[in-house]
Structure 1
Amino acid sequence: MFLEFFYIFVNIFCKIKYVIIYYILGGKAILHDIFYRQYNRVELRSKSKHVAIVTGGARGIGSSIVKMLMECDMHVVIGCINTENAKMMIKKLREQGVVKGEASVLELNLKSLKSVSKFASLFNECHEYLNILVNNAGIMFMPYEETEDGFESQFAVNYLGHFLLTHLLLPRMFEASRRFTTSPRIVNVSSCAHEVSPIINFDDINMTNFYIEQAAYAQSKICLLMFSKALDRRLKRAGSNIQVITVHPGIVNTELFNGTLVKLLAPWVLTIFGKTPEEGATSVVFCCIDDSTENAGGSYYSNCFPVKCTQYADDVKTQEKLYNFSNELIKKYCSNDI
């Protein structure tokens, strides 16, 4: 009984500690966004015949990313769970005056590796190449839940589902590199939250021994960042010009914050100081299309310029261990040579 109460006390203490750390980190990130807001801009130049995928493209910054890429005259494929919402969003964009580009929708549930595999198969059947992959979809601060594949939900949605999706689509990106002069881009939407990630415990990747939702979210985001660097390194060794770039979009006032203390107790903070979805999407789109990112693979961006990530995220040995570990987790659906 004593040990049970002690465990509960320690868990509550750690959660409170993480909440405090997150607010300090968030405050620092907001100041960065305000100070560098003048640099957070992108020129939406024509990218006719280019094909892009945006996961989670029906809401939040995802819908703004879709809009901007359509304005570049691309064909944008939205991968999301609620396909009807995505179709309504596209209709609304047309009503708002977006006349360029094309958009289509395919169902994608990142909690299911089977769904990820099906999405990739359907895309590959319909498209011969892929210029831009934006791994944007994400969930935040979720209570403990395991997916049908047995993975903690934030790890699955924010990281592992995108890891599998990327590898299944690489052949189409190799084809794009042969057909176009500009380099294909894989843009992974991470977060400054990676800065407070615990050391990855590969023996308990689900954090079942001591689950704190804020820590699990941070881990999923550092995994995405480490994966970006490891994959970019492999692509360079293979002689590919595909660029893998990670982006922190900023503190963006979207429904991702619904249920958090700041949204419940002081929603005005995000309204006044947070970025709009369009401002959050800008850095992402910049990495997708700007000429200055033509050779920016392996970099971590915020407000449209490269910034430093944590020393742990830069650790090559851990990056390689994570990459190989993740390959084992998805081998039922994909055996890749990269």
Structure 2
Amino acid sequence: MRKGFVKAVACENILMAPRFDPKKDLVNLSGRVVIVTGANRESGLGYGTVRHLARAGAKVYIAARNEKQSLASIEKIKAELDGQTHGGKVCFLKLDLSDPRGVKKVAEEFMAKESRLDVLVNNAAIVFVPFEKTSDGVSKIITTNLVGPFVFTLTLLPLLAKTAAQEGSDVRIVNLTSLVHYIAPKIKKLKTLDDLNQEFRRRPLSAFTRYGHTKVLIILWTKALHTYLNSPSTSSALPGTERITAMALDPGSVDTFSVRWPLPWLWRPFVRLVMTAPNLEVGTHPMAFAAAGKKIRDGKEAYGGRFLNERFKIAKPSRNARSEKISADLWTLLEKIKKDMGL
């Protein structure tokens, strides 16, 4: 087991998280617009994050493919937050990240109806799925966890930049990674589709390993995104991109899954022994901080392209996720995939 993973687990499970009060430590989001992808499950991190941001006054879009579940979650959030928000509201945006062409269309439709976008939280991901490739030759998990969010973010970039160019703006892109990235296999190169489409067939828990691989890629993509946003050519074409803060976040270990196991009441006490946070409300504090924490607003130049841990700290990701060259190569490869898809 890798040293970085052991150290991170020790940090999560032995040390208490810093005090964080969303009522005091979040910026006022009244009049601001936010998208949180994959926030439809009531036990999920995205759902808990939406509650925090809506309480702070934001108009928050739950972007997910399951409309029925999302609408039910929205009604529950509305009931929970009745009278507790500063004008905040929650809306639904139908989004299927496994279909990059559809993703582009959704983003374009969003920009046609909204005049601003202040925060984008790329939270959605799939975990335990069999290895299979799409008709574009990209594996399903890479498409959903990386290519879809990449296309969604770049398509929305003109609106993010327009918002960032306004006086007093605080525009952020938060990409969710995971503690699991510390134990993902080493990435030697990212030049071809085969380098992305790692099956890890001979490894135990290959599906989980593929998930960890995508979470390393998220950190590398975030580094490259920061470079792209701050390049003269990008900021010249889209004034305001240099004022966007892009971050990768490990939100910590929160029990969002035992509720779906048989006899959850039996397993939950054991699961909580290795979880960072005792409940979803506290467990989503790191995501709320990354999306709207005052500390980031007041020192945003320090956070661009960085990796944040569950203790709200800028931290070192795994050695695997630090390579500037592989990060740049990933960006080039993603651009090629996007072009080959006709996007």
TM-score (norm 2): 0.82
The reply to whether residue 315 of structure 1 matches residue 317 of structure 2 is no
The reply to whether residue 95 of structure 1 matches residue 95 of structure 2 is no
Of 136, 160, 167, which residue of structure 1 is paired with 2:154? 167
1:37 alignment partner, SS class:
coil
Partner in structure 1 of residue 33 of structure 2: 51
The reply to whether residue 195 of structure 1 matches residue 195 of structure 2 is no
Cα offsets for 1:192-220 (capped at 9, x unmatched): 21112223354422224736212211110
Partner in structure 1 of residue 100 of structure 2: 113
Partner in structure 1 of residue 197 of structure 2: 206
Partner in structure 2 of residue 237 of structure 1: 231
Q: Using the alignment, how far apart are the partners of 1:242 and 1:147 within structure 2?
A: 32
| 1:39 to partner: Cα distance | 4.1
Of 134, 148, 156, which residue of structure 1 is paired with 2:121? 134
Partner in structure 2 of residue 71 of structure 1: 55
Q: Are the structure 2 counterparts of residues 28 and 177 from structure 1 closer, same or farther at C-alpha, using a change threshold of 3 Å?
A: closer
Of 71, 80, 83, which residue of structure 1 is paired with 2:67? 83
Q: Using the alignment, how far apart are the partners of 1:209 and 1:44 within structure 2?
A: 41
1:312 alignment partner, SS class:
helix
* Pairs within 5 Å for 1:148-187: 148-187=135-174
| 1:278 to partner: Cα distance | 2.3
* Pairs within 5 Å for 1:32-51: 32-39=12-19, 41-42=21-22, 43-51=25-33
The reply to whether residue 284 of structure 1 matches residue 287 of structure 2 is yes
2:308 alignment partner, SS class:
strand
Q: Using the alignment, how far apart are the partners of 2:170 and 2:18 within structure 1?
A: 27
Q: Using the alignment, how far apart are the partners of 1:25 and 1:266 within structure 2?
A: 24
| 1:130 to partner: Cα distance | 0.8
Q: Using the alignment, how far apart are the partners of 2:31 and 2:226 within structure 1?
A: 25
Q: Is the 8 A contact 1:30 1:250 kept in 2?
A: no
Q: Using the alignment, how far apart are the partners of 2:315 and 2:82 within structure 1?
A: 32
Q: Is the 8 A contact 2:40 2:64 kept in 1?
A: yes
Q: Is the 8 A contact 1:245 1:298 kept in 2?
A: yes
Q: Is the 8 A contact 2:200 2:210 kept in 1?
A: no
Q: Is the 8 A contact 2:136 2:341 kept in 1?
A: no
TM-score (norm 1): 0.83
2:290 alignment partner, SS class:
helix
Partner in structure 1 of residue 239 of structure 2: none
**Aligned-pair identity (%):** 25
Q: Using the alignment, how far apart are the partners of 1:305 and 1:27 within structure 2?
A: 15
* Pairs within 5 Å for 1:265-280: 267-274=268-275, 275=277, 276-280=279-283
Q: Using the alignment, how far apart are the partners of 2:269 and 2:282 within structure 1?
A: 17
2:319 alignment partner, SS class:
coil
Q: Is the 8 A contact 1:75 1:103 kept in 2?
A: yes
Cα offsets for 1:266-297 (capped at 9, x unmatched): 54332344222223321111111123222211
| 1:115 to partner: Cα distance | 2.2
| 1:40 to partner: Cα distance | 5.1
1:38 alignment partner, SS class:
coil
The reply to whether residue 146 of structure 1 matches residue 133 of structure 2 is yes
The reply to whether residue 327 of structure 1 matches residue 335 of structure 2 is yes
The reply to whether residue 297 of structure 1 matches residue 304 of structure 2 is yes
Q: Unmatched 5+ residue regions in structure 2?
A: 236-241
- Opposite residue 297 of structure 1, the aligned amino acid is G
Q: Are the structure 2 counterparts of residues 256 and 330 from structure 1 closer, same or farther at C-alpha, using a change threshold of 3 Å?
A: farther
2:165 alignment partner, SS class:
helix
| 1:298 to partner: Cα distance | 1.2
Q: Unmatched 5+ residue regions in structure 1?
A: 1-20
Q: Is the 8 A contact 2:34 2:60 kept in 1?
A: yes
Q: Using the alignment, how far apart are the partners of 2:131 and 2:321 within structure 1?
A: 24
- Opposite residue 129 of structure 1, the aligned amino acid is R
Q: Using the alignment, how far apart are the partners of 2:10 and 2:79 within structure 1?
A: 33
